Each structure stands twice: as C-alpha cells, then as structure tokens.
Amino acid sequence: MTRAQLFEQILKKKSYLCVGLDTDPLKLPEHLMDTEDPVFEFNRQIVEATADLCVAYKPNIAFYEAQGPQGWVSLQKTLEVIPPDIFTIADAKRGDIGNTSELYARAFFQQMAFDSITVAPYMGADSVKPFLKQEGKWVILLALTSNAGSQDFQMLRLHDGHEEYLFEQVLRTSSDWATADQMMYVVGATRADYVQRVRQLIPNHFLLVPGVGAQGGSLAEISRLGMNQQCGLLVNSTRAIIYASSGKDFAEKARAAALEVQREMEALLEELLVR
Ligand SMILES: O=C(O)c1cc(=O)[nH]c(=O)n1[C@@H]1O[C@H](COP(=O)(O)O)[C@@H](O)[C@H]1O
C-alpha cells in the first residue's frame, strides 16, 4: 500500500485507528474455547466488528509465537480475513545482520503478506535495509517508544555538536535509508512532549503511535502535535478495544470502544482539514 492510498483510506473512514491484535489465549471469552481455533475465531470476530472503523491492524507476533506452530496458523488465517484495503503491521521488532534480516523480510513479506514490519534500529543500516527491498512494503522503525525503559537509551543526550537525544540521531540518520513512502516511525503517545522535536526532523513520515488506551497516552494531544498534511499518524489501541469485554458480547463491546476512538479521530481530522 502506498502513502497516498493510506491517506485515502483515512479520509474515507475518517479514522487513523490501528487496532492491535495481541490475542492472549488466557484472556479469551469462555464460549470460544470449544471452537476449532479460538485465537482465530476471536480475531475473526474482532475484525468483522471493527473493519469499517480502522485503517490498520497490528498483530503483535509474540502472542502468536508463544502458541508454537498453531500460533503461526492462527496468525496466517487472521491475515486472510483482514480486508485488502486495510494496512497490516507485523509487530515483530526484528533486525539482525543483513543476511538474517533478509530472511525475516521473507518470512513477513512473502510467506505472510504483511504490508509492514516493526524493526529495531540498534544494529544499524545493514540490519534495516533488507526490509526495504520490496516496493510497497514498509519498515516501521522504533524511535521513541512508549515504555519507561525508553529513558535508558533513546533519551540519552549526545554531545556531538548537535546537542540532541539519541532518538533524534536515529531519526536523522535513518531518514536517509528510505523515503516517507517506505518508512514510518514508532513514537509513543506517552512521549507527546517530544513530538514537535520529532516533526522537526521528519515532517512527512507517518508515525505509528502506541500508548493510548491502556497505557494512558492522550489521543487529542498526540494528534494535535503530531499530525501533518496527510494525517501522518496511525494511532494504535489494543487492550482497550479487544478486551473491552470478556463475555459473549466481546465483539460488540470492541466495536463500541473502537467507535468511540473513531469519533474522536473524526473531529481531530476535521481540525486538520481546516488548518
Ligand atoms: O511497536 C509497537 O507497536 C509498540 C511500541 C511501543 O513503544 N509501545 C508499545 O506499546 N508497542 C506495542 O503496542 C501495543 C500496545 O498495546 P496496548 O497498550 O494494549 O494498547 C503492544 O502490542 C505493544 O507491544
């Protein structure tokens, strides 16, 4: 999917919501447990209930890997029920020496037809570039993450003449590896104070923003500070949507939670369009 197509979907659905599919078998509603593949059945119903309200789905691969071979089967089946005009993110946080990254790219872009993958920048250019070889496939590079540990390295001050944080150096250097048509960056909603600094370095790239909902980040704040002329944001919410209820009405409640976010996004997009 191209950046223009993604923006088109955002305008059509009045939404820049990404629904996380972090499906934990221990949290599934009881009544799904006697279906053939409870994880897939849960995802299928979540997708059916939310597909008109979001523009992306992001399965976190850990939740599938943890199930052994059956987890990969559930993941593949889930990908197949996601409508083709919805952007898919393999949240795998990979990145290794070049020939190994090539194989990760093959796994997520060819074996499975994801549009994008999250990648850690720590091993540098040759660990990221193998993911950029296929047109239409995206890298979503970790820049400033939502967790407390982002202080440990990402927020270190560099004294190399620029007086900047390490995450800013990551943005500066990596934005030469690919254009805004193939690279996005993860910036946590809990890091809204730094979004203007992010936008100074990368005004045009899309940001994948986790951390609203269960982690307490503010959708309005990150949106007002982080949006660009093509929206430029995919805001993820996982637990607050998919686990809105643990009962028989889980899909209905997930839809209601997604609808609430979509309505707020619609109003925020209107603000952008009149800017
Ligand atoms: O790459 C991510 O998606 C990610 C980066 C980050 O900085 N923080 C973060 O929470 N995530 C992921 O986003 C999702 C957040 O889920 P909720 O907190 O339930 O909305 C999880 O799958 C996390 O692994």
Q: How far is CA 172 from CA 3, 20, 96, 152, in A?
A: 20, 28, 21, 19
pTM for the model stands at 0.97
Query: What is the rounded CA–CA span in Å between residue 53 and residue 55?
Result: 7
Digit-coded pLDDT (tens) for 133-191: 999 999 999 999 999 999 999 999 998 777 899 999 999 999 999 999 999 999 999 99
The pocket around ligand 1, CB under 6 angstroms, is made up of 20, 22, 60, 91, 118, 145-147, 186, 188, 210-211, 213-215, 236-239
CB atoms inside a 10 Å sphere around CB 48: 13
Whose Cα sits closest to atom 12 in ligand 1? 210
- Asked if 93 is an active-site residue, the reply is yes
pLDDT of the residue at 121: 98
Q: How far is the CA of 222 from the centre of ligand 1 (A)?
A: 15
Which residue in 14, 27, 93, 129 is the catalytic one? 93
CATH number of the domain encompassing residue 93: 3.20.20.70
Share of the chain above pLDDT 90, in %: 96
pLDDT at 207: 98
pLDDT score at 78 = 98
Residue indicated by tokens 């052994």? 68
Would the pLDDT of 261 be above 90? Answer: yes
Q: Phi and psi at residue 245, in whole multiples of 5°?
A: -145, 150
Domain that holds residue 70: 3-274
Report how many domains make up the chain.
Answer: 1
pLDDT band at residue 213 using 50, 70 and 90 as cut-offs:
confident
Would the pLDDT of 238 be above 80? yes
- For the chain, the average pLDDT equals 96
Most confident by average pLDDT, 119-123, 157-161, 268-272? 119-123
- Tell me how far the alpha carbon of residue 211 lies from the centroid of ligand 1, in angstroms: 6
In the chain, the amino acid numbered 176 is D
Ligand 1, residues 236, 237, 239: which to mutate, most atoms within 8 A of Cβ?
Answer: 236
Number of the ligand 1 atom closest to the C-alpha atom of 213: 20
> At residue 78, what are phi and psi to the nearest 5 degrees?
-65, -45
Higher pLDDT: 214 or 33? It is: 33
